[in-house]
Chains A and B, each alone.
Chain A
């Protein structure tokens, strides 16, 4: 199993990567960080340098993970650096359909409509993703983006979730009890917590995580 993080720019530090690595560590898994700035990363995390072309900013650097030239094969799971692992999440690997791209189900965003191509928000997010790197259909996600429309997509979409949904790629979602949202559903008991639309580095969230660790 390949466990992958992406770190670009200065918003997240090597400590953020290392903390997540510690939360997820399994000796039988291979851990990777796709980054342009590897200093300070735990030496057990394999570094995959961010490709120089095409030059991408922020979360758009998650899309090259789906390229057929990305140097990994087989089963992959990605975690955003602003997720909090409450307890062992690995049971999910026996549940997901490895023939599909699997994303987080934002069922809790009841206010969001995403059935039209110009809707801004969507009801999935890519805080956690599973896929098989050998799957040619997955490669099409990168191929479509890295095309003559790349600049247009960068203007049109706020992020890769909208790109995947509105460009019509097929995806599955994790069971709803696998991921909870700090903002929308933080009273459930999922192993993974996401922090969309809030400041992950804030004191409030640090305190909440600290208290939650104590309670578990």
Chain B
């Protein structure tokens, strides 16, 4: 992990603690944000997202827009920036606080944070690449709808990750296997693979 990012994460935790001592509009005395920040910088997330960047960069070297759906605090857009220096990179999440934290964690990564519901296909009409590493959090119908609608518009590339970590209540769309994941996306596969992360396995598909 980049020690500067770790340091910024610690500073954020300090801000949240300080905010909790007052009536703070941003942190709302919400100490769970501390845990959420720790989770977002967990080594599993770094490994999973770097894996996507490594595989995507073998397939895509264009200069188009890369849209990251459900990108939380922006770790994936940050890692994409290390390989895609010129592209416009957009980080989408429905949670308003993600942009505040993301801008604090990754101020130099030129990430365009947007607060939107990531399931609206219209958002991605200008995208070259649609990336989502949180498919397990998004209803399957919404994912297939996005692929179906965006697949009809230009030559878009999809890079998606899900997992088989069924136990979490927010994981409403896990897959039993890589094959099951690949099959329901209906993509023309350019890459597929899995990453054993100990307690669970992460699946990835890149396709059109």
Residue among B95, B141, B170 making CB contact with A148, cutoff 8 Å: B95
Q: By the criterion CB–CB under 8 Å, are B31 and A148 in contact?
A: no
List the B side residues contacting A155 at CB < 8 Å. 32, 36, 168, 170
Could you tell me if B169 and A117 are in contact, using CB atoms closer than 8 angstroms?
Answer: no
Q: Nearest Cβ distance between residue A6 and chain B, in whole angstroms?
A: 15
CB distance from A182 to the nearest CB of B (A): 25
Chain B's closest residue to A156 (CB) is B32
Closest beta carbon of chain B to A25's beta carbon, Å: 33
Complex Cα distance, B168 from A56, in Å, reads 11
Contact of B32 among A55, A57, A118, A151 (CB under 8 A): A118
Q: How large is the interface on B (under 10, 10 to 19, 20 to 34, 35 or more residues)?
A: 10 to 19
A139-178 near B? 1/0 per residue, CB < 8 Å? 0000000001101101110000000000000000000000
Cβ–Cβ contact B139 & A55, under 8 A? yes
Q: Are B31 and A154 in contact (CB under 8 A)?
A: no
- B interface: dominant SS: loop
Question: How many angstroms from the CA of A52 to the CA of B142 in the assembled complex?
Answer: 12
Residue of B36, B94, B96, B169 with most chain A CB atoms under a 10 A cut-off: B169
Given A118-B32, A152-B95, the answer on whether A57 and B172 have CB atoms closer than 8 Å is yes
Q: List residues of A (106-156) whose CB comes within 8 Å of B's CBs.
A: 117-118, 148-149, 151-152, 154-156
Which residues of chain B from 145 to 202 have any CB-CB distance to chain A below 8 Å in the complex? Answer: 168-170, 172-173
B138 CB to closest chain A CB (Å) equals 9
Q: Are B30 and A151 in contact (CB under 8 A)?
A: no
Contact between A148 and B169, CB atoms less than 8 A apart: no
